[in-house]
Structure 1
Amino acid sequence: MRIWAKRVPVAAACIAVACGGAVVGCSTPELDTTAAGVAKLYASAIERQDPARAAKYTTAPAQAGEALTATITSMKADDIDVKVDRPVQFSDGTASFSLKTTWKWQGKRAFTTETTGAARHLSSGWRVTWAPDLIYTGMPRGGALRLIRTEATPSPKVRSRDGKVFMLEQGVNDIVLDPAKTADVPAAAVSLARVLEPIAPLITAKVIEGKIADAPGKPIVAVTLRDSDMLVLAGDPNKVAGVSTRPYGKLVMADRRLSSPLEVGLTNYWQAIRDATAGWQVQLTAPGARPRALSGEQGPPGPDVNTTVDQGVQLSLGDAVVDVGQPATMLVLDGSTGGVLGLAQNSYAAARGINVDNLYPVGKTLDPVWEAIDAAAGSDGQSRGRLLDRSGLGVRFTVPGASALVGARPTVTTIDYKTDTAAVSMMNMGAFGVALARSREGAPPVAPYVIKGIPTKVADGELGEIGSAVTGPVFDAMTKTVVTGDASDLTNAPGLKALVGTNGPQAPGWFLGLQDGKVVVIYTEGEKSGTAALQVAQKYFRIK
């Protein structure tokens, strides 16, 4: 910061005077300075992003504080550099100077303004004459500068394996009810439910009041509706006491019939692209006027997200998991490539937070696998561990587009495969199924994946050949399960090979199947979970 004015002593005054509509207090040693000195104090306070202190050095602290707070808050700068140039002090007790203010953000983003200011010598000392022009030349009263994020257009689309649009960004609206803004919450809930009924009949007054009860005193989102949904409502929700509408853009399914836990992982990946391609813009805002762009940059739009998802498979999975009244989740992969074709779960599983990364007890489901690996490894614990890793059962996967969490290492690496300790994720089970399917082609195992060209991270071991000494006995056991075992009642599944198991009547149930070039993994919980897994499998084979 450069100050070029010659210091001129100013006598201290101990009376208060009114100036610019504000009361200015007695002089202090800090303000007992020159015009250039007070400009420097003002500039230093702006650099520290302290609008209240900067306003103190002006002729109108209240007005200045309000305006400076609005701009400093809206600009969200990582750093501000303010230089005071060309200060000139006149004999009539006035002065002039110029300010060069540079607002800085990460990524070498910067915006610079050059403004002129004035100062006055009052009985209390020198003060910067307040005017909005100190912030930006031509700024109107009530105006402010603000930094906004800009998005590249068009936004990327998420595509299924055949290139069709699977997910896309659309305008949506949170319908928010704030109980603090209505005198009669039950009446507001009833009125809002009536407005929503044509498009969201399940969002009843009871449901709305339940959400309010779960978040005492806080606003709740009754429902989120697409822009097109808003056109068929039975009225304007904003006219209901305590209700407001919050519009924004969101990545949603192109086909309303589809839903999937994959939405979380794919949205995270899509958002990372949006963040990487986002631009910025500094705007001048003013009451009653449209924001005016002053500076900024915006790069090209990001690429579409190409996935392995098969929309037909995904629709079938969604129909299959709703067939049981207990938690059920279903994962289907391409047996040749390891690509995830679909992932679905019912509302019970969603409420339980079940996902493809969590570890769940396998019970007796993989007993034939443990026996085959033990036989192939002999008494060599290291060989046993390597076979488990190579098969996909002993490693940890992080699958871009599918993994919402970093999962724990499976516990099947223990020497003793006790049914109450062995646990794997659905992705582990799917990877093992892919290893079996590819062994028929003489190909090594591959990691499951969702986004084309984006590899899955494999930790705590390596995938590799497991050999016919393992796959042979496992295929025999899978065939037996279908011919004379628990899966013998399944129909419409030619060539099916499967393993089915639980860890007791109330324990998780699993189904691992190979059929029609696909790997089918089903995980269920609750009473007779093994039967529930078979019920889901049968529904899938009937409708696929």
Structure 2
Amino acid sequence: MRIWAKRVPAAVAAIAMAFGGVVACSSPELDTTAAGVAGLYASALERQNPAKAATYTTAPAQAGESLAATLAAMKADDIDVEVDKPVQFSDGTASFSLKTTWKWQNKRTFTSVTSGNARHLSSGWRVTWDPDLIYSGLPNGGALRLIRTDATPSPKVRSSSGKTFIYEQQVNDLILDPAKTRNVVSSTNALATMLEPIAPLITADVIAEKLAAAPGKPIVAVTLRDTDMGLLAGAPDTIAGVSARNYGKLVMADRRLSSPLEVGLTNYWQAIRDATSGWQVQMTAPGSSPRKLVGEQGPAGPDVNTTIDENVQLSLGDAVVEVGQPATMLILDASTGGVLGFAQNSYAAERGINVDSTYPVGATLDPVWESIDAASGSDGQSRGRLLDRSGLGVRFTVPGASALVGVGPTVTAIDYKSDTTAVSMMNMGAFGVALARSRQNAPPVAPYVIKGVPTKVTGGELGEIGSTITEPVLEAMAKTVATGDASDLANAPGLKALVGTNGPQGPGWFLGLQDGKVVVIYTEGEKSGTAALQVAQKYFRIK
């Protein structure tokens, strides 16, 4: 029996390989000994090269497959493999142990110690392949994997009343893969028929359009909640090329509601989930449940409490579908700046309209420009400061609402030309709040959606703008309702409003103060000013 030094780090093998030309010619002992081949195997594993590591084993095909599966599933940032206690016997066999340390970000590690053997074959020494080299007790076909874990229960997004507004639920993507069916048309028709009881709008034509838009690729025909799957006229997997993918997703508690706010609120909710997520290393094996080896999980994250009013949100959703052109509507609490609701129709969603992007205001804010000009003495710097203070000249990043980065208002403190001046819906809403609060002798405040989470204001500071600006604007708003473009609106006692367009093709704007709320409507297309008034009238009729 021959015994080497107690420990042979994989780095020794790596150094030898670095001088491969010299070693191969003058000192081939390293890779022709049991310790040497174990070191080469360990070095390849550290480099996360399963194919290379497998070449040093007695069963390269099986080893390569098993090692590749574990390396892919573990997703390690770094691996340290140490060869320890190598012992070579006179009968052409040897033994050793491997200490493998898997490393990830945030100082997460997993260490295992396994026993290995080697044999001297006609081609030289080789590591005897056994899944135990990866982890003791790992069966054939098994693997190690790293998974993310999330605390339960998951946070809920709550409305201003404390009711559940959005929450996580299991949903199912029904996927049609044209490459997995011999008759795409037959599968399309069968899927549409199956969906009819629960999703009648997902017709065969709709599915065909999705397939045409992604030639040869799988498409998601529809996403259904778990509770809806039992209402299908059959089982999806009985249709050739159709499969279901189940996962957790945030959904509206009230099916009647939808809002662009879902994007921003989901992003915020996901940030909480990410911050409170845990991890786990598991051993998987065919026909067996995964077995936890190590891991950590912290407490569940807090619920997300918002300013959203479900009743207001429902009214907005009904109002924006009043017109057959892009229409988006934002309502804020006139006293606090809290966003009560935000909705848009399908035309606006297709256009990608949101609260952050800026859009031309045309003549809508002419009374505002006149008041600011008069108050500033037409001084450019003074005008700029007043625009910032009013909320029209700054950039708002509203947690739970803002989804874009790097898009800012283009209002300029020098020029108010109607064909160039543009503001965002959030700018318009903030200005409405500033007007309402001026009557309470209160300064402007930034709009917000999540309670206790402040909005970031950049590009200037909010502040007092004075009654010399607000009173003329409020008088102009009252006149617009009394004898102007908004005079036909009904069911809106005490309404004050500004209405305007940016030419025949719009866009159109409506800014209103009524019943302690700020109403902002943005429309696009022909006669968009009229469309904005139609949306406003529908809202006042049903709210």
TM-score range, shorter chain: over 0.9
Deviation at 1:408, TM superposition (A): 2.6
Q: What's the counterpart of residue 241 of structure 1?
A: 240
Q: Which deviations, in whole Å up to 9, do the C-alpha atoms of 1:58-101 show, x marking residues without a partner? A: 11111100110010110000111111111111111111100110
Query: Per-residue deviation at 1:2?
Result: 4.0
Q: Which residues in structure 2 correspond to 1:114-513 (within 5 Å)? A: 114-406=113-405, 408-513=407-512
**Post-superposition shift, 1:33?**
2.7
Q: 1:3 aligns with which of 4, 8, 21?
A: 8
Q: Deviations over 1:256-313 (max 9, x none)?
A: 0000000000000001111111111111111111111111011110000000000000
AA aligned to 1:213 is: A
Q: Which residue of 1 aligns with 2:19?
A: none
Q: Distance in 1 between matches of 2:286 and 2:502?
A: 67
The question of whether the paired residues in 1 share the 8 Å contact of 2:504 and 2:527 is answered with yes
Between the aligned residues of both structures, percent identity stands at: 81
Shift of 1:32: 3.8
- Evaluate the alpha carbon distance shift between residue 383 and residue 289 of structure 1 in structure 2; reply closer, same or farther with a 3 A threshold: same
**Conservation of the 8 A alpha-carbon contact between 2:394 and 2:457:** yes
Q: SS where residue 289 of structure 1 aligns?
A: coil
Task: Give the distance between the partners of 1:192 and 1:70, measured in 2 at CA.
Answer: 35
Contact 2:260 2:344 in 1 (8 A): yes
- Contact persistence 1:47–1:81 (CA under 8 A): yes
Q: Which amino acid aligns with 1:433?
A: G
C-alpha distance 193-479 of structure 1, shift in aligned 2 (>3 A): same
Mark the runs of 5 or more structure 2 residues left unpaired by the alignment.
Answer: 1-5, 13-26
What is the distance in 2 between the residues matched to 1:387 and 1:252?
A: 41
- Corresponding residue for 2:16? none
Q: Deviations over 1:5-38 (max 9, x none)?
A: 9x9xxxxxxxxxxxxxxxxxxxx95974321111
CA 484–73 in structure 1, closer or farther in 2 if over 3 Å, else same: same
Q: Deviations over 1:505-524 (max 9, x none)?
A: 21100000000110000000
Q: Secondary structure at the match of 2:292?
A: strand
Distance in structure 2 (CA, Å) of the matches to 1:87 and 1:182: 55
Secondary structure at 1:372 match in 2: helix
Contact 2:381 2:413 in 1 (8 A): no
Deviation at 1:57, TM superposition (A): 0.6
Q: Deviations over 1:284-343 (max 9, x none)?
A: 111111111111011110000000000000000001001111110000000010000000
Q: Is the 8 A contact 1:482 1:497 kept in 2?
A: yes
Matches within 5 A, 1:2-151: 2-3=7-8, 29=28, 32-151=31-150
Q: TM-score, normalised by structure 1?
A: 0.95
**Given residue 315 of structure 2, which amino acid in structure 1 is its aligned partner?**
S
State how far apart, in whole Å, the 1-side matches of 2:381 and 2:309 are.
39
Distance 1:107 1:164, change over 3 A: same
Q: 1:341 to 1:4 in 2, by over 3 A?
A: closer
Q: Which runs of 5+ in 1 are unaligned?
A: 8-27
Check whether the contact 2:53–2:64 (CA below 8 A) recurs between aligned residues: yes
Contact kept in structure 1, 2:361 and 2:509, CA below 8 Å? yes
CA distance in 2, matches of 1:300, 1:412: 45
CA distance in structure 1 between the partners assigned to 2:538 and 2:522 by the alignment: 14
SS in 2 for 1:290: coil
Letter of the aligned partner of 1:120 in structure 2? R
Counterpart for residue 541 of structure 2: 542
Deviation readout 1:216-275 (Å, 9 max, x if unpaired):
111000000000110100011111111000000000000000000000000000011111
Quick check: 1:359–1:407 contact (8 Å CA) kept in 2? no
Contact 1:357/1:407 (8 A) holds in 2: no
* Letter of the 1:406 counterpart: V
Give, in angstroms, the shift of residue 3 of structure 1: 1.1
Change (3 A) 1:214 1:79: same
Superposed CA deviations along residues 454-479 of structure 1, whole A, max 9, x for unmatched, are 11111110100000110011011001
SS at match of 1:315: helix
Partners of 2:283 and 2:441 lie apart in 1 by 65
Q: Matched residues in 2 for 1:451 and 1:92: separation? A: 73
> Is residue 4–residue 86 contact of structure 1 (8 Å, CA) maintained in 2?
no
| Distance in 1 (alpha carbons) for counterparts of 2:520 and 2:177 | 43
Give the match's secondary structure for 1:39. Answer: helix
Please give the secondary structure, in 2, of the residue aligned with 1:357: coil
Give the 3-state SS of the residue equivalent to 1:485 in structure 2.
coil
Aligned to 1:20: none
Q: CA deviation at 1:420?
A: 0.7
Q: 2:9·2:81 contact (CA, 8 Å) conserved in 1?
A: no
Superposed CA offset, 1:370-424 (max 9, x none) = 0000000003110000000000000011100001102533222241211110000
Q: Is the Cα contact below 8 Å between 1:197 and 1:203 reproduced in 2?
A: yes
Alpha-carbon distance, 1:122 to partner:
1.5
How far apart are the structure 1 equivalents of 2:50 and 2:507?
A: 60
Alpha-carbon shift at residue 4 of structure 1 (Å): 8.4
Whether the 8 Å contact between 2:357 and 2:409 is mirrored in structure 1 is: no
C-alpha distance in 2, partners of 1:30/1:219? 54
Whole-angstrom CA distance in 2 between matches of 1:371 and 1:365: 12
Instruction: Give the alignment's TM-score, normalised by structure 2.
Output: 0.95
Q: Indicate conservation of the 8 Å contact 1:395/1:428, yes or no.
A: yes
Q: Distance in 2 between matches of 1:442 and 1:534?
A: 30
SS of equivalent to 2:290: strand
Checking the alignment, whether the CA contact within 8 Å between 2:31 and 2:40 is kept in structure 1 is no
Counterpart CA distance in 2 for 1:206 and 1:70 is: 41
Contact kept, 8 Å, 2:9 with 2:39, in 1: the verdict is: no
Answer yes or no: is the 8 Å Cα contact 1:38–1:57 preserved in 2.
Answer: yes
SS at match of 1:199: coil
